Amino acid sequence: MSHNIKILPGATVCEDCTLEGDITIGGGTVIHPRVTIIAEGGPIIIAEYCIIEEYSTIIHKKSDQQENPPKPLFIGAHNVFEVGCKLESPCGHIGESNVFECRSYVGVDVKIGSGCVVGAACHLTAPQTLVDNTVIWGSEHHIREALEKQPSQLLQLDFLSKVMPNYHRLRKPNVHKRQSSTRQSQEPSPKP
Amino acid sequence: MALYEGIALIQEKQAVVLDLGTDYTKFGFTGEAAPRCIVRSEFWCAATRRYRRVHDYQTADELYDNLVHMLHLLYFRHVLVNPKERKVVVVESLLTPTLFRETLAKVLFTHYEVSGVVWADSPRLCALTLGTPVALIVSIGAKEAEVAAVVHSCVVLHAMESQPLGAHAIHAELRRLLDEDNDATLDLPDLVIEDIKVKTCFVGSRSRAQQWEAARAARDVQFACGERGRLRVSGATRERAAEVLFARDNELASLPDIVLQCIMRCPIDARRALAENVLVTGGTASLPGLRARLAQELRHLVTRPPYASRLHVREFKFHGAPAQDSAAAWLGGALLGAGEAGAARATPRDVYARARRLRDWRERLMADFSTVPEWDHMAAVLTCYVAYNNR
Amino acid sequence: MAYLTQPDYVKYICSCGQLKPITSLYFCRHCLKIRCGFCICHEVDSHYCANCLENMPSSEARLKKNRCSSCFDCPSCFHTLSTRATMAQPRQTPQDPAGGDTKVESKQPKKMYYLSCFNCRWTSRDVGIPDQPVASGGWPERTNPFAARVNQLLDYYKAIALQEKQEKIERERKKFTIRGKYITLTDKTGLTGAMARNIAGLPSSDSSCSAIANFVPSQASAEVEELPEDYYTKEVNLNQITSMPQRLASPEWQPVSVSRLHPLAKLLSVKRSQRCRVCDHNLTKPEYNPGSIKFKIELLAYYHVPEVKIISHEPVKAGEKTALLLKLTNPTGHEMQIKLLQPEDLPPPEEKEEPKSIEKSLEKSLNLEKDTSSYKAIEREPQYSVTSRVTSPPTALTLAQRDDAAEYDDDAQHDTTE
């Protein structure tokens, strides 16, 4: 597996995490230690200002009908992956401002729009599409639609990017050219 | 000492009203417009580590335990008052099993040491919320649909009709239809079935039901149900789940049939008044479209045999109780308990302690009125109300 | 021996005949009997809000219908709502009716508060409740739509009851005047019934008459609200329909649509004190402070009754003897005599004098669900099934008093084993 990890300037990526495959991490994103991101089925692109907390796992799964070249898994801006959450996806697109709460699990055939919240310990395995601003919570998987998107965690991001370097070894940003970030800014809105 | 006793008498504690339904329990204070809580009639059983329904019992002892736990929950979690030395208005169906009544009395009087209990039957209490002298109460509850005629605050006992046409019948039908829709034995828990019923089901009009295959079917619904994924609830299922209440067969035991039969058995001079004072109540009555459908069915059936020749009532009028459907009987209890007249006619604790049993309407049917010196106080007070009404 | 997550292997017989683990038993110091939650009297001690830990006097709690005035529950998922602050900029949410007013009042940003649920992300803005300028309270209160009618009915029935009473008094008086022996106070002073009513603090008969005269019975109508025709063909948005628990959480309104959900004022909790039914002494009495979980009085069986633990046992085989190792601990500061009895030697509950009688069961399979219930009048024989016999040592055992120093001593051995 080729290890091609691009970290854009402004991103805070701890050294103590497993990154495998072709991964691009956008500026302003904070990746905590012990995070696992595996791009086995194709590249993973994480946009700006995401928070990926400890023990969360993002896997771009290999699928049988693999296209060539493989489609990337694009994760929009301002997403929050809380402690221990797991996201498995063969390809596709995850919108912005989603929150994946602690120990939540999002299975292969789940499409996620923008502003969605997957509640703590909610396991989404059945094929489904979460429209924008869907909130799922509780063991019974109650669903409701929020009025507006989840507020972004800019303060928290700010704090984390200041504090993290004091306590963790960080991976250095290795991309200084702007071209890949301009590519991301062209497609910030989720596609249905 | 005497002075304090006097004060205690004046400041009688606000009584509580208890309506222990099969599925939902309504509990609150007298004189208030709505119950403080409507909770499922079940409690957490620590020994078996699951919720236990109050009405699931084999023996009297088991029921006693269930009631103690349930009332503890109601008094100390929801209403937050001391049960001791406080009166209770118990809203009960006329068809409550004797074992249940007697055990409830035992629990209230001996375990919770309440000072008095007013036993009130739900048809008369429902009529109390209307203030009309004559009313036909159609109460569709969890297990049964009961039709009772209240004429001048007396229930016409021999005309009372009851059929197992309640929420449980709809649930069973919905369960069957869902299995058909999804080609699988789903075995959904009761709560999910109830949720599907509440969110998707409705009762179509009579004309649709007559030719429901020709009518444009209602929209299908994809019901997300936790980890089971999505269930298909077809438009036909949504519409037909509650059809069981209106399904007629040779026994003429559908909901509109028992309403008409009840009217038919009543005294001839009360029939017209009853038909013009129908109150449809009970939790299942809030199903969208149910009232309208019942009205259509009644108006249609009354022109058909066997009713057309024997029942010369053509007009049906419907009341709305000043309460949510599920709490109408409870509100009646709250009204009754608030007045001095009702509270004063409670069975006091010392009387119960001596007799250790309750009076029942059945024994009054058996016995001649003159030989039973202390006949039901409730009937007395309610007849008084109506006597004034008619002036 | 009691576990948090396992079945209760050792159960004790309460004086009422219930089988319970030692953790749910009390010991009445005055009757010298074991009591359990079933055979004692529970009383409401004090009201408090479990969220803000604020005490509320019971009179105030009654006035506020047992609801906290500053804490709210989410109407959607019943989690506690938190107050969040925003800066009210000219950019207001469109459905915020108060937004226009605040803009006019002050040009500079003003702190506005709204309620938000961290579990299901419900906010008070979802249902169009305007943001509040103060952090606590001030949230709009709804009135019961039927309140006016219910009050009319109440007045009406009270008036009738009064009139009925009045007539009864009249009748009685007529009866008594014939005898003429006892002259009531009202007769002697020539006071009329109206005056008597005044004294009794009841409303005058005029008002009761008017309540009766003005009362309008409910009007029936031939029209019944039918479902709109588009109801059948309309797409159903399940997210817009409330579930049964959401409806019943506010019994007065029972909203059908999600847009009608309002924050629920948090229900208060109570601290309970428990009382022995026989001698009326307190068994437990909590401290008044809601933040404290300590008790002023706590007569728990754990402090008085020897604790029995099953240390080990061999698999039970039919017809054979197997070893059972029990550990008995004396929690008291006094020496204790213990005699192990067979179940049939157990004295019946009424005559049972010594509180130390204990019943041990081997396995959870032996422990049948108890059915007995209790009150001083209805004590019943404890029910348990016996599938094996324990051969007990014939002599009484002596348990030495609790040795406080033992906890610090490694090789102290105070166990009696069988």
Which mean pLDDT values do the consecutive 10-residue runs of chain C (418 residues) have? 72 84 90 88 92 90 90 93 80 47 57 90 89 81 88 89 85 69 47 50 57 84 85 85 93 90 93 90 92 90 88 82 86 86 68 39 34 45 72 80 71 47
Read off the pLDDT band of B1 (50, 70, 90): very low
Q: Which H/E stretch holds residue C33?
A: strand C33-36
To the nearest whole Å, the CA of A76 is away from the closest chain B CA by: 26
Please say whether the beta carbons of A125 and B227 come within 8 A: yes
Q: Which residue among A144, A148, A150 sits closest to C120, beta carbon to beta carbon?
A: A144
pLDDT of residue A119: 93
**Scanning the structure block, which residue is given the tokens 């086995």?**
A40
Read off the pLDDT band of B365 (50, 70, 90): low
Read off the pLDDT band of B219 (50, 70, 90): confident
- Residue C410 structure tokens: 């490694």
Over the stretch B183-206, which tens digit does the pLDDT of each residue have? 888 888 999 999 999 999 999 888
Please say whether the beta carbons of C190 and B359 come within 8 A: no
From residue A128, give the alpha-carbon distance in Å to each of A118, A138, B138, C240, C315. 13, 18, 43, 19, 52
Q: Which residue among C93, C120, C125 sits closest to A135, beta carbon to beta carbon?
A: C120
Concatenated DSSP letters for C275-308? Answer: EETTT--EEEEE-S-TT---EEEE-BGGGTS-EE
Q: How far apart are CA C70 and CA C136, in angstroms?
A: 6
A55: left (phi over 0), alpha (psi -120 to 50) or beta: left
Read off the pLDDT band of B350 (50, 70, 90): confident
Q: How far apart are CA B175 and CA B163, in angstroms?
A: 20
Read off the pLDDT band of B380 (50, 70, 90): very low
Over the stretch B247-303, which tens digit does the pLDDT of each residue have? 888 888 999 999 999 999 999 999 999 999 999 999 999 999 999 999 999 999 999
Strand partners, A45: A24, A74
* Nearest Cα residue in chain C from B235: C232
Q: Complex ipTM, two decimals?
A: 0.85
Is residue B103 over pLDDT 90?
yes
- Which strand ranges, in their side-by-side order, compose the sheet holding C282-286? C55-56, C40-48, C269-276, C282-286, C295-298
Please say whether the beta carbons of C374 and C276 come within 8 A: no
A chain contacts of residue C123, beta-carbon cutoff 8 Å:
146-147
pLDDT of residue C226: 84
From residue A109, give the alpha-carbon distance in Å to each of A5, A58, A106, B319, C180. 26, 14, 8, 52, 95
Angle between helices B255-265 and B268-275 (to 10 degrees): 140
Q: How far apart are CA C379 and CA A6, in angstroms?
A: 77
Q: How far apart are CA B364 and CA B361, in angstroms?
A: 5
| For chain B, percent of residues with pLDDT exceeding 90 | 52
- Burial state string for C138-162 with b = 16 or more CB within 10 A and e = fewer than 16: ebeeeebebeebbebbbbbbbbbbb
Mapped onto helix, strand or coil, the DSSP state of residue C362 is: coil
Q: Work out whether strand B145-151 and strand B134-140 pair parallel, antiparallel, or are unpaired.
A: antiparallel
- Residue B148 structure tokens: 């009772």
pLDDT of residue B255: 94
Please say whether the beta carbons of A110 and A127 come within 8 A: yes
Mapped onto helix, strand or coil, the DSSP state of residue A42 is: strand
Read off the pLDDT band of B11 (50, 70, 90): low
Read off the pLDDT band of B176 (50, 70, 90): very high
pLDDT of residue C374: 35
pLDDT of residue B39: 95
Q: Which H/E stretch holds residue C166?
A: helix C147-179
C chain contacts of residue A138, beta-carbon cutoff 8 Å:
77, 119-120
**Mutating which of B38, B138, B153, B277 best tests the C interface, going by the most C Cβ atoms within 10 A?**
B38
**Mutating which of A109, A129, A141, A143 best tests the B interface, going by the most B Cβ atoms within 10 A?**
A141
Read off the pLDDT band of B343 (50, 70, 90): low
Q: What count of CB pairs under 8 Å joins A to B? A: 18
Please judge whether B292 and C224 are an interchain contact, meaning their C-beta atoms are less than 8 angstroms apart. yes
* Nearest Cα residue in chain A from B230: A126
Size of chain A, expressed as the number of residues it contains = 192
Is residue B359 over pLDDT 60?
yes
Strand partners, C132: C113
* Nearest Cα residue in chain A from B223: A143
Q: How far apart are CA B11 and CA B3, in angstroms?
A: 13
Q: Which residue among B64, B277, B340 sits closest to C161, beta carbon to beta carbon?
A: B340
pLDDT of residue B342: 65
B chain contacts of residue A125, beta-carbon cutoff 8 Å:
227, 229
Please judge whether A144 and C119 are an interchain contact, meaning their C-beta atoms are less than 8 angstroms apart. no
A70 touches chain C (CB under 8 A): no
**Which chains contact A through at least 3 pairs of Cβ atoms less than 8 Å apart?**
B, C
Stretches in chain A below the pLDDT threshold 70:
1-2, 66-67, 91, 177-192
Q: What's the one-letter identity of residue B68?
A: V
Q: How far apart are CA C82 and CA B317, in angstroms?
A: 48
* Nearest Cα residue in chain C from A115: C121
Q: How far apart are CA A168 and CA A11, in angstroms?
A: 14
Please say whether the beta carbons of B35 and B21 come within 8 A: no
pLDDT of residue B36: 94
Mapped onto helix, strand or coil, the DSSP state of residue B231 is: strand
Quick one: CA dihedral C44, C49, C53, C54, positive or negative? negative
**Where are chain C's structural domains?**
1-66+269-305, 70-88+109-144+252-267, 147-213
- Residue C164 structure tokens: 């009925």
Q: Which residue among B35, B68, B338 sits closest to C38, beta carbon to beta carbon?
A: B68
Please judge whether A128 and B228 are an interchain contact, meaning their C-beta atoms are less than 8 angstroms apart. no
Please judge whether A143 and C119 are an interchain contact, meaning their C-beta atoms are less than 8 angstroms apart. no
pLDDT of residue C142: 85
Q: What count of CB pairs under 8 Å joins A to C? A: 34
